[in-house]
Amino acid sequence: MANFENQDIVIAPLPTIKYDKLLAQDSTEITRLVDVCKSLGFFYLDFNLSAAHSLVNNSNDVLGVMNEYFHQPIEVKMKDVRGTVTHGYCPVGRYAGAKKGERDCYETLKISEAEMKDRSPHLPVTVHNNVELFGEFISGSHSALITVLQCLSKGMGLTGDDCFENKHRSGVPARTTMVLFRYPRQVEEGKGIGHNVHTDIGSLTLLYCQDWGLQLLSPETNEWGFVKPQPGHAIINVGDSLRFLSGHQLRSCVHRVIPLTGRQETDRYSIAYFMRTEDKSVFVDSKGRRLSALAWHDEKYNVFRQPHEDQERDAVLTGGMEKHGSLILV
């Protein structure tokens, strides 16, 4: 429990993994990484003593571009709508929110890793105007997560095609995407709230955020706790696909985004890099079905679009990990 702006809040006790030690193949740190991914599935990745610290500086520059982009008139941003879940702009209120009966309260700009690599002409003007910045951020984030996958493979004794990194090969089609989030300031309650409870679709997520709002559902206490922003660190979490690829050994943690008070009192920004498994990779999901990573991705996004009442009939949104606010798989 901690006090923040005169209110008591529960803090999620996230462990910290040192990125420089992963790069050095430190056996003790690799063992800690595997243990954390099996028990919680969420951790801080400390870049402070590594060459990848430039990612932190890049994230600050990206935040500056985001602030300018999202404060454009809505009719300008709507020109970047692509009609897909992996590309372009999406306005506030398209999905169910963090409170039953209310819509979400965030807008996004999505940048496909594949389109960035190809310097696609379909990229938004803002991305084209900052192509080096976004390119470096995506490249650095991807490299950091490949390192995490390699260390997990080593720590779990995997070899050959079973290694996690071999399900994330360069140039092979996947839904890997960088997503810029803005949760706009609200002047009154009841106009949408946060980001609904879920587990992530893909393999690993790398998140940069300087603002409060992210909450985890603890597998130990079954209670929600806020993640404290840590300068010089990224937040990493295991997604459904990596959990399935691991034979359900790794944990995809249930989380959501919600204001500390009843409404979003200031703009909240976050940058996420969603590394996703190759489209044609096959695994056994939480229902015991054998299906491709692409099929899981598309099915889960269909559930995202549904109202709360329909989402509650199935556990797809939380990857089979939670139902009605309680963990159903430990």
Q: CA torsion sign, 185 to 65 to 18 to 318?
A: positive
Q: How far apart are CA 134 and CA 127, in angstroms?
A: 7
Is 295 a domain residue?
A: no
pLDDT for 319 equals: 80
DSSP state at residue 107: E
Q: How far apart are CA 250 and CA 240, in angstroms?
A: 9
Averaged confidence pLDDT in the chain: 91
CATH value at residue 136: 2.60.120.330
For 64-122, the pLDDT digits (tens) are: 999 999 999 999 999 999 988 899 999 998 888 888 888 889 999 999 999 999 999 99
For 173-224, the pLDDT digits (tens) are: 999 999 999 999 988 766 788 899 999 999 999 999 999 999 999 998 999 9
Which range marks the domain in which residue 115 is found?
A: 2-277
Is 312 a domain residue?
A: no
- Please report which confidence band the pLDDT of residue 253 belongs to, taking 50, 70 and 90 as the band edges: very high
Q: What is the pTM of this model?
A: 0.94
Is 330 a domain residue?
A: no
Decide the pairing of beta strands 214-217 and 224-226. Answer: antiparallel
Is 115 a domain residue?
A: yes
CA separation (Å) from 204 to 124, 148, 212, 217? Answer: 25, 9, 21, 18
The residues that bridge with 131 in the sheet, in sequence order, are: none
pLDDT for 322 equals: 53
3-class DSSP assignment, residue 177: strand
Is 308 a domain residue?
A: no
Q: Which of 146, 123, 149 is nearest to 134 (CA)?
A: 123
Is 283 a domain residue?
A: no
Q: How far apart are CA 276 and CA 239, in angstroms?
A: 9
Is 128 a domain residue?
A: yes
- Residues listed for the chain: 330
For 14-58, the pLDDT digits (tens) are: 999 999 999 999 999 999 999 999 999 999 999 987 777 788 889
pLDDT for 147 equals: 98
Quote the number of domains for the chain: 1
Is 297 a domain residue?
A: no
